[in-house]
Structure 1
């Protein structure tokens, strides 16, 4: 005598499919952007991640996250027009 597991397995498959369709989208995984307070109140240009480093590029400076604070690593008199991150120089 053969016993089919399909009738018992069908509700599980339907529930799994429903969970994937309703709760697995990118909106469910999205997090709000953190706010970064910087000295100088410059307009942010870019937020970069290179390895474990987090950098904020503003109109005239580059800031690196060290612990819970951003430390200015570079300052320029001319405005920054573009930014990129690389693991090697």
Structure 2
């Protein structure tokens, strides 16, 4: 009986922690959709300079999917791999 009382709060706290660790918000995704290629790349580079590699990966991923054959495509892919690596998303590299 005591085990069940301990498991429920633990499970709830784990679920709250996992949902609170989302890397991007809907506002960021909408803002990324409205930016041009150079502006989106500049935003990603600024995020990388600030150490926010998860946000950089989101911006770079949006850039790579919207402009796959643009003049920045090779550098975007390199920066995306690096951002995934630095943010701990090694399986996505």
* TM-score of the two chains, using structure 2 as the length reference: 0.30
- Which structure has the higher relative contact order (CA within 8 Å, separation 6+)? 2
* TM-score of the two chains, using structure 1 as the length reference: 0.31
Larger strand proportion of the pair: 1
Greater C-alpha Rg = 1
